[in-house]
Homo-oligomer: A and B are copies of this chain.
Amino acid sequence: MKVIVNGLDLSSAVLTVSKAISSKTTNPVLEGIKIKASGDNLILTATDTELTIEKTINADVLMEGETVVTGRIFSEFIKKLETEQIELSKLDGEKLKIKYSDSESEMQVFPAEEFPKIIKDADDSYFELKQADFKKMVEKTVYACATDDSRPILKGCLFEIENNALTVVALDGFRMSVLSSEVLSSSGNFKAIVPARTLLEITRLISNENELIKIKVSKNALLVEVDNTVLISRLIEGEFIKYRQILPTEFITNVRVNKNLFISSIERASVVAKSDKTNVVKLDIKEDFINVTAKSEIGNVNENIAVNMDGKDIVIAFNGKYLLDYLKSCEDEFVSINLNSPIEPCVISSIVNSDYTYLIVPIRINS
C-alpha cells in the first residue's frame, strides 16, 4: 500500500470512524481502524461488531493495499499533522510508514485479515425524511430507552412505518415516549428496533439538516449513508412491547400548565428530593394550582403553580427526573397532563403538537 492524502481530510475521517471503535474488548483488532487504499480513495473502517462506521476520502493511491492501525494512537498522531500532506506506505511484514515534510515515523499494525468482515446487505426496506426531522425524532424518544441490560429489547427505539407514517417508541418500564411523523417516502410497512447508541451516532453524522436521510433496513441490520460516510448497525432482535395497549385513552383529570414554570419548580423540588434515590416529587393538583412538594433530610420545597384543570382533584407523585426528561424535550409553551388515579399511569402531551406523547408511571406514596 502507498497513498498520499491531505492531513486535514485524514484527521477528520479518523475522528468520524473512531466513534465505532470498541472501548471494552479483549480483541485488540477491534480497537483498530482499517485503512484501505483502492482506486482514487482511502477507505477507513472501524467496528465493534455491533456498530460499523466507514468513511471514504479522496487520495492519490500509488499502490493499493490495506492494513489496520491502533485507533486511539493513530487518531492522536494524525490530529497533529492536519497541515501536512501525508504519505502512508506499508510493505509486507513491515510497520506502517508515515512520511510528512522531511520526517518519517512508523506505527505498529494488525494484519487486515484479522479485521471483521463488514456485510452491507441492509437493502430490503427503507424510509426517507429530512435530517432535521430524523434528529428531532431520535432526541425526543431515545432518552426513555433502558440503560441496563436486564431487558435488551428496551435498549433500543422501535421504528414503525405504517402508511408512510413513522412512529418511534422508547420505554424503560417507568416511562414511555411516543412520537409520530409523516415520512417523505418509504418502501412499505415494516418495523425495526434500533439500538440507542446507533441512533445517537447517526444524529452526530448529520451535517446538513435540510438534506434528506435514507434509513435502509434488512432483517438484522440498518444502513445509512451521509457525506461519504456509511454507518451499519445490527438491529435488536425480538418482539417489542405492544405500546398501544399500554396507553390509556380516557382520563378523569386534565391539567394544562405552563411548561417552563413547571420545569423550574420540579428542578428545585429535585434538588431536595434527589438525595433519595427515587427523587419523589409530589403534585397536589387542585382547580387553580398545582402544589409541588418534595421533602428529604436536607430540607423541603413547597411551591404553587397556576394551572387550568378539568375533572377531579388528585394527589400523585413522580420521579422528578422522568418528568423533566419529557418537559425539557418538549418545544411548546404549555403541556397537557392527563390522569386517572394516584396509582395509574399519567399521560402528558404537548397541546399544539399532539403527536408527541409521554406516559409516566407514578410512585405510590402514603398521603
A residues whose Cβ falls under 8 Å from a Cβ of B: 70, 73, 76-77, 80-81, 95-96, 101-108, 264-265, 267-268, 271-272, 275, 297-304
Contacts and interface: CB of A to CB of B under 8 A. Distances in A.
A21 B73 CA distance: 38
A76 B81 CA distance: 43
A73 B301 CA distance: 12
A96 B303 CA distance: 16
A106 B299 contact: yes
A341 B303 CA distance: 73
A73 B103 CA distance: 55
A268 B301 contact: no
Contact of A299 (B80, B95, B103, B268): B95
Contacts of A103: 265, 301-304
A105 B298 contact: no
Nearest to A301: B105
Given A77-B268, A103-B304, 16 more contacts: A73-B275, A73-B298, A76-B271, A80-B264, A80-B267, A81-B268, A96-B299, A102-B304, A103-B302, A105-B268, A105-B303, A106-B300, A106-B302, A107-B299, A108-B297, A108-B299
Contacts of A265: 103
Contact of A268 (B70, B80, B303, B304): B80
Closest 7 CB pairs of A and B: A103-B303, A107-B299, A105-B301, A77-B271, A76-B271, A80-B268, A106-B299
A300 B105 CA distance: 6
A209 B302 CA distance: 43
A302 B104 contact: yes
Contacts of A298: 70, 73, 107-108
A301 B76 CA distance: 13
A216 B107 CA distance: 54
Nearest to A294: B105
A272 B105 contact: yes
A77 B267 CA distance: 8
A300 B70 CA distance: 14
Contacts of A301: 103, 105
Contacts of A102: 304
Contacts of A300: 105-106
A239 B118 CA distance: 65
Nearest to A107: B299
A299 B73 contact: yes
Nearest to A104: B302
Nearest to A295: B106
Contacts of A268: 77, 80-81, 105
Contacts of A272: 73, 77, 105
A88 to B, nearest CB: 13
A302 B264 contact: no
23 contacts: A73-B271, A73-B272, A73-B275, A76-B271, A77-B272, A80-B264, A80-B268, A80-B271, A81-B268, A96-B299, A101-B303, A102-B304, A103-B265, A103-B301, A103-B303, A105-B299, A105-B301, A105-B303, A106-B299, A106-B300, A107-B298, A108-B297, A108-B299
Contacts of A267: 80
A86 to B, nearest CB: 12
